[in-house]
Structure 1
């Protein structure tokens, strides 16, 4: 999946940035799952 999205490692040192990054990743996954269900892929 990394090759499809062309992601690179993200390194955060401050706790609030780590939490924000995890939240953004979780929201992106949730949005993807909702879109897949809307399209009938799952």
Structure 2
């Protein structure tokens, strides 16, 4: 499906292990977006 240019939607059937891996990767990405900004937070208001 993906090789043919298709997409997998959240409610599509997929192996449970694959779904868990995707959820873990999405959670890690979200965490990086939030935590990655914290060190710069102190000087942004002064920039």
Q: Count residues in correspondence.
A: 33
How many Å separate the matches in 2 of 1:14 and 1:33?
Answer: 29
The structure with the largest helix share of the pair is: 1
Distance between the aligned counterparts of 2:38 and 2:8, measured in 1?
29
TM-score (norm 1): 0.63
Q: Is there any run of 5+ residues in structure 1 with no aligned partner, and where?
A: 1-8
RMSD of Structure 2 on Structure 1 (CA): 2.0
Please identify the structure whose Cα radius of gyration is greater.
2
Normalised by the length of structure 2, the TM-score is 0.57
* Structure 2 unmatched ranges of 5 or more: 1-6
Q: Structure 1 stretches (4+) deviating beyond 6 angstroms?
A: none
